[in-house]
Amino acid sequence: MESYEEYDVDVLARKMHNLEKELIDLHDRYLTLSDALKATQHYMVKMAQQQAMIATQVSHWPYIAVEKQSVKRKDKE
């Protein structure tokens, strides 16, 4: 293992500065992704609520029973 005296202080400081910049950038991207995910989840919840409302409305629609005709059109003519 190398001793600490063999490392260049300027190189270490530059690497540390680059690492800090990368961490700040990574944190910003994480926050952006988190906000986008939150917005997507909010949209999906609203969509599910709308689908449930539509399903409820459709299930309560009045309907008229229609009997199937057994005679074909060609047979009628």
Residue-wise pLDDT for 39-56, tens only, equals 999 999 999 999 999 999
Residue-wise pLDDT for 52-74, tens only, equals 999 998 888 887 777 887 766 66
Q: Once rounded to an integer, what is the mean pLDDT over residues 9-34?
A: 96
* Three-state secondary structure readout of 19-62: HHHHHHHHHHHHHHHHHHHHHHHHHHHHHHHHHHHHHHHHHCCC
Distance CA 67, CA 16 (A): 80
pTM summary value:
0.55
Distance CA 53, CA 13 (A): 60
Distance CA 62, CA 68 (A): 19
In the structure encoding, which two tokens stand for residue 60, read together? 């309560």
Return mean pLDDT, the chain: 87
Q: Once rounded to an integer, what is the mean pLDDT over residues 34-43?
A: 97
Q: Once rounded to an integer, what is the mean pLDDT over residues 20-45?
A: 98
